[in-house]
Amino acid sequence: MSRVIISGASSGVGKTTVTNAILSLLEDVQPFKIGPDFIDPMLHQYVTSKPSYNLDSYIYSEETIKYLFNKYSQSGVSVLEGVMGLYDGKNHDLENNSTAHMSRILSAPVILVVNANKQATSLAAHIKGLIEFDPRVNVAGVILNKTTEGSYNYLKAAIEMHLKIKCLGYLPNDPDFNIKERHLGLMQASEISGLDEKLLKLKEVATKTLDLKAIKEIAMTAKPLKSEPLKIDVKDIFEGKTVAYAKDKAFSFIYQSHIDLFKEAGATVKYFSPLSDKTVPDADLYILPGGYPELFLKELTSNTSMISTIRELVKNKKVIAECGGFIYLTKGIHYQGEFHQLCNIYDIEIEFNNKLDIKRFGYIEVKDNEDTIYGHEFHYSKIKECHESNMAYHIVNKGYKCGYTKERAIAGYPHLLYYSNLDYFKKIMED
């Protein structure tokens, strides 16, 4: 049960690049992502050919985190990519659901990634502060990013002179390693041109510049992690049922743990594409996840057969739509100066903006009838006009209502995480 967390000293230092380099070098590895991110796990899966699983200490209890980690960490080394900077979380205390917080829950050593460009001795002081800020966090090594071999050796001498920490190598500042960003984060793996070539070059360089043996030795210092079975058993409760997920380049924000959970509950999971399919498979529950529908409006609006199918579907079958899926069910979206008509199930018009809707951003505690479930919102669009009144969710921790029910559909911006309340999950097939 070897494990190690790759954390940035701050956001933007290249921890995703370093994580993918390490994943590419390890032959027997299981990736994880700390936090609710959808896109980094897609890259992890592309590199390793294994699903990457999200762990989140705001969303899940410590018992659930340990259960999920042990459930999926069956490979030789588990590598967890952190979120933001090491101590960055929902607030400024040390129980703030940060990467450091997660490292304590999992008793996992941390390898720190720092941007070494234009740095000198002060870098050692910066690292020292991060190590000593919370002595309960085991910062066991450091990787210098965006530097040269000569600068690395110079900085390594300073760090190891003043600190009892091992430098584990470096990566150069090579633009070929960069993955373009856009709203909501990095580009999806399926959309990155020349990704295979980028990853091959990254692996070739990392083979020479990272101390893989030392990284593995740090991971092996983690002690066995005890966990208990979850108190709520879902085994075979959906035996004979079928769940159909929309899944393509427009709708891809899907947690693998949810797919596994449905299968564990006995359901058959199928997929369909609103971009290219003309109809949907027969199922008891349909889920339209988030993604980037605004980038594929031409394809979505021209697939009138699928739009007609979805319009009829909500009359007879349970449909859940989140964020991008919610947008798809509305009247349409104002995007780049044009209005694009979509399914028109909800009498709602959406407007896309070039900035995050900060008022509806972050972790949420959702009240749905008698159940409370945790999730998050993260979107650049917002409702421009709304003529619907049947509200679905009460966001308890932020004091607003959102989401709408209509016929057999429930749709809104929140992404809900089922492992935060398995009682909610058990009733998910119901209206």
* DSSP-derived 3-state class of residue 428: coil
Q: Taking 60 as the threshold, does the pLDDT of residue 199 lie above it? A: yes
**Cα distances (Å, whole numbers) of residue 292 to 236, 256, 325, 352, 377:** 33, 18, 9, 11, 14
Name which of 110, 92, 104, 114 is nearest 17 in CA terms.
114
Residue 379 token pair = 């979107």
Question: How far is Cα 145 from Cα 173, in angstroms, rounded to an integer?
Answer: 7
Angle at 107 between CA 105 and CA 108, to 5 degrees: 110
122-133 helix and 149-162 helix, angle to the nearest 10 degrees = 50
> In the structure, what pLDDT confidence band is assigned to residue 192 with cuts at 50, 70 and 90?
low
Contacting residues for 399 by C-beta, under 8 A, at least 6 apart: none
What does the block give as tokens for 263?
Answer: 């299968």
Q: What is the mean pLDDT of residues 223-244?
A: 95
DSSP 209: H
Domains and CATH numbers, the chain: 2-219 (3.40.50.300), 242-426 (3.40.50.880)
DSSP 210-249: B-HHHHHHHHTTSPP------SS--TTTTTT-EEEEE-SS
Q: Indicate whether 26 pLDDT > 80.
A: yes
Candidate ranges 298-307, 369-378, 391-400; pick with highest mean pLDDT: 298-307
Give me the helix-helix angle, 212-219 and 15-25, nearest 10°.
90
User: What average pLDDT does this structure show over 239-266?
Assistant: 97
Token pair for residue 64?
A: 């659930």
pLDDT for res 137: 98
Arithmetic mean of pLDDT over the chain: 93
Q: Residue 96: pLDDT band by 50, 70, 90 thresholds?
A: very high
pLDDT at 334: 96
Which active-site residues does the annotation give? Answer: 323
188 band by pLDDT with thresholds 50, 70 and 90: low
pLDDT higher than threshold 80 for residue 185: no
> What span, in angstroms and rounded, lies between the C-alpha atoms of 250 and 267?
24
Distance CA 119, CA 112 (A): 16
pLDDT for the residue numbered 73: 95
- What's the pTM? 0.93
In sequence order, what are the residues at sequence separation of 6 or more whose Cβ sits closer than 8 angstroms to the Cβ of residue 41?
A: 31, 33, 51, 52, 53, 54, 256
Exposure b/e, 409-418, CB count within 10 A at least 16 = b: bbbbbbbbbb
Question: pLDDT tens-digit profile of 378-425?
Answer: 888 999 999 999 999 999 999 899 999 999 999 999 999 999 999 999
Q: What is the DSSP string of 312-362?
A: HHHHHSEEEEETHHHHHHEEEEEETTEEEE---SEEEEEEE-SS--GGG-E
Could you tell me which of 16, 60, 66, 15 has the C-alpha nearest to residue 36? 60
Q: List C-alpha distances in Å: 159 to 22, 60, 109.
A: 22, 36, 18
pLDDT at site 180: 62
302 has a pLDDT exceeding 50: yes
What average pLDDT score do residues 36-47 get? 93
CA angle 39, 282, 422 (to 5 degrees): 55
Cβ neighbours for 344, distance < 8 A, ≥ 6 positions apart: 311, 330, 331, 332
Whether the pLDDT of residue 186 is over 70: the answer is no
